[in-house]
Amino acid sequence: MKTRQHGFTMIELIVVIVILGILAAVALPRFTNIQRDARVAKLKAAHGAVQAAAAMVHGASLVRAGQGAITIGGCTATTTVTGGGQICTESGPVSVINHYPTANLLGIINATGLTTVFPATNAALNLDQYNTTGGGAAIGSVITVQVQGGAIPANCSFTYSPSTLGVAGSGPTITPVVTTGC
């Protein structure tokens, strides 16, 4: 009687190794695309947050304009009839110009809540994989919001600028997202 040995032959082992190699070659590029997709989704979420925050702050600023100092939850702020100053949110004050958030950390970034730190800081944004460039508190100022981690962060971004003073019906300028560097 012959005894049978149990185990895999050399050919079976080689076939399994080849199949695993092919799967790894196909799965690795898909994994890197998932990371890119996540950065694009994060950028689009920030873009939506900026649009929503600009609209909500605009409405609150119009309602509170010229009413003097208003206190909400420990925050006291005044919005002028021309739309300057600050409005209070549940987190704290947001700077406004022409009834829209200013294009800086104290304006649109505070209003969006892109970071849990209030008032927002560049260090806190960097921890959350965001970066901002430019910005200011004057009409015409532009702030660029970028998502970090991609090949070219400057090309994984969008910009925000408050409305133009004196132009009726002019809202903020929020550019479409650029995702070529994500």
pLDDT digits (tens, 9 = 90+) for 131-156: 999 988 787 789 999 999 988 989 99
Q: Which residues constitute the domain of residue 39?
A: 11-174
Q: How many domains does the chain have?
A: 1
Tokens of 33: 């695309």
Phi/psi of residue 79, each to 5°?
Answer: -115, 125
Query: Distance (Å, rounded) from C-alpha 45 to C-alpha 112?
Result: 10
At 70-119, the pLDDT tens digits run 887 778 888 888 788 899 888 889 999 888 999 999 999 999 989 888 88
Instruction: Note whether residue 24 is domain-resident.
Output: yes
Structural domain includes residue 78: yes
Enter the pTM of the model: 0.79
Q: Is residue 180 in a domain?
A: no
**Domain assignment of residue 107, yes or no:** yes
User: In which region does residue 161 sit, left (phi positive, over 0), alpha (psi from -120 to 50) or beta (all else)?
Assistant: beta
Phi/psi at 181 (nearest 5 deg)? -105, 5
